Structure 1
Amino acid sequence: MPRIQLAYPKILGSKNYPSSRCIAFDKYDGTNLHWVWEVELGWYGFGTRRDRFDLDERGIAEFNAAHPGLEEASNLFQKLFATPLDKLFRENPAYNSPEITVFTEFFGANSFAGMHKPEESKQLILFDVETNRGMIPPEQFVQDFSNLVIARVVYRGKLTGQFVEDVRAGKYGLAEGVVCKGGSNPADLWMVKIKTNAYMKKLQQAFQDDWENYWE
């Protein structure tokens, strides 16, 4: 398996939240997958947070063998994202970058802690885009990619203790929680995750003493 450094950064837990404006996105309970694009090659690589494969017939077969349960992912990406993202990256000057990585979440209705039920249909949701300058800020992300299947916007406003409590209490109908993102450019971008109390109970039942490994 071709190992890489973490393709997606670790997100801080809610203890570290700043008191500033943010957009809170639905945090889906699935598998984080990345897809790599380059001007001349187009889409050439993909993988999980910890590995990468060539995005061709052989690489897809190797990925599927290494990750049982994720076999639908490459077809979903080609169907939903490959062509419109390629067009946007080539036509929008903001994406004049030698390489671009997009991040998606792969999940089904009853996926849990990275485990998927084979019989369920799956979804692929776009939630971040990274150029050579860094992650695209949240307002720009929503503006540029809202015509595609992106993570649902749960909340816009100041990140407060009340909002954290509301998420924990299940006010927004979330399966796992939210990822709050703030900052107006890649240099000052920040991200914080907040999970619900109901999700914590699911983790405690499933993993008992190890549940905190799957928490914030």
Structure 2
Amino acid sequence: MSQIKLVYPKISDSKNSPLKQCIAFEKYDGTNLHWVWEPELGWYAFGTRRDRFDLDDRGMAEFNLAHPGLSEAPELFLKGFANSLATIFLNNPQYSCPEIAVFTEFFSLNSFAGMHQKDDPKQLILFDVQTDKGIISPFQFIQDFSGLNIARVVYRGKLTGKFIDDVREGKYGVAEGVVCKGGSSSKDLWMVKIKTYAYMQRLQQAFDRDWEKYWE
């Protein structure tokens, strides 16, 4: 295991929302995991936002010790994503780079605030891909990876105050909220998160005065 700098960027809250064209994806209540691929080694590493392990038997055993409750994730990734993603990377020139990281959310129906129920069926959702130029645009992401189990698209259009209010009021059928992403390339990519009032109430009931640690 190695400690690394934050792999996935912190997403701004809705107070900093640019009112521009975007795609809003459902935000799932789980654990952010990254997986690292390179042309010769294939899938060779994985981890959370702050650590990384070798994607082999020893590395997975170390991961399981460090992160109880996440042990099903490697098998889900290797069976559900590894070959399909590698095929896309090898067949598309825009993914010709020394290393690629993909980001998934690990969760189940009853996951809450990063905690998972042991016996619940788990799943992985793909929500971002990062090349040597940075995280790809949401438009390219949908174009290239919509055939896989990716985050559900909730909305396409201009980010407006009404949309933000509607998400908060629960009008889009999301449990936690959404992540809005815009920009035409890695250079001008922006992201903001919007969570529902219902999720806020769950946090307040579960964590009392500490609920804001899990908010936006």
Structure-2-length-normalised TM-score: 0.99
Give the superposition deviation at 1:215.
Answer: 0.5
- Which residue number corresponds to residue 122 of structure 2? 122
- Which residue number corresponds to residue 54 of structure 1? 54
Give the superposition deviation at 1:164.
Answer: 0.2
CA distance in 1, matches of 2:199, 2:4: 30
- Which residue number corresponds to residue 22 of structure 1? 22
CA distance in 1, matches of 2:55, 2:82: 11
Give the number of aligned pairs.
Answer: 216
Which sits farther off after the overlay, 22-31 or 86-95? 86-95
CA distance in 1, matches of 2:208, 2:175: 19
Give the superposition deviation at 1:39.
Answer: 0.9
What value does the CA root-mean-square deviation take over the aligned residues? Answer: 0.6
After superposition, give the CA deviation of every residue in 1:126-177 in whole Å (9 maximum; x if it has no partner): 0000000011100110010000000000000000000000000000111100
- Which residue number corresponds to residue 206 of structure 1? 206
- Which residue number corresponds to residue 164 of structure 1? 164
- Which residue number corresponds to residue 141 of structure 1? 141
| 1:154 counterpart SS class | strand
The letter of the residue matching 2:107 is F
After superposition, give the CA deviation of every residue in 1:68-121 in whole Å (9 maximum; x if it has no partner): 100100000011100011111111001011100000000000000000000100
CA distance in 2, matches of 1:81, 1:94: 19
- Which residue number corresponds to residue 89 of structure 1? 89
Query: Following superposition, which runs of at least 4 residues in structure 1 exceed 4 angstroms of deviation?
Result: none
Structure-1-length-normalised TM-score: 0.99
CA distance in 2, matches of 1:61, 1:83: 22
CA distance in 1, matches of 2:39, 2:53: 18
Q: Which structure 2 residue ranges, 5 or more long, are not aligned?
A: none
Work out the percentage of aligned pairs sharing the same amino acid: 71
The letter of the residue matching 1:118 is K
Give the superposition deviation at 1:2.
Answer: 2.0
